[in-house]
Amino acid sequence: MEPLIPAPKQGGRPAHWERREIVNASLYALRAGQSWRLLPHDLPPWQTVYWYFRRWRNEGRWETIQERLRAQARRQQGREETPSAAVLDSQTVKTTEKGGRVG
């Protein structure tokens, strides 16, 4: 993932948090399914993590990371990098057996 995450810009104020910590915090929040504000205190501040997460999402970086990781996992399994077919499953929701008006 490292080549896909942009390095801090040269000049200006130096970066306070390592990019790896920001990625770890983003993945932690997403995996836990919790509010950004509930990030543990040993991770970067939630405002910083959320700012980078939104920026990278809008740039399409997370999608690129997912595509590369999926391709790598498929290669390790001896499969083609991209799937050739997909399976969609749908389920019918049953209504009441009475039919007509219920009142």
**How many domains does the structure of the chain reveal?**
1
Residue 22 lies in a domain: yes
Q: How far is CA 20 from the centre of its chain?
A: 15
Domain span at residue 46 reads: 2-7+14-68
| Mean pLDDT lowest among 3-12, 17-26, 87-96 | 87-96
DSSP string, 7-44: PPPSSSSPPSS-HHHHHHHHHHHHHHT--GGG--TTSP
Q: How far is CA 47 from CA 56, 77, 87, 103, in A?
A: 14, 38, 39, 52
Residue 83 lies in a domain: no
For residue 100, pLDDT beyond 90 = no
Mean pLDDT score, 32-59: 94
Residue 81 lies in a domain: no
Q: How far is the C-alpha of 27 from the C-alpha of 59, rounded, in Å? A: 17
Residue 45 lies in a domain: yes
pTM of this prediction?
A: 0.72
Residue that the structure tokens 């996992």 belong to: 73
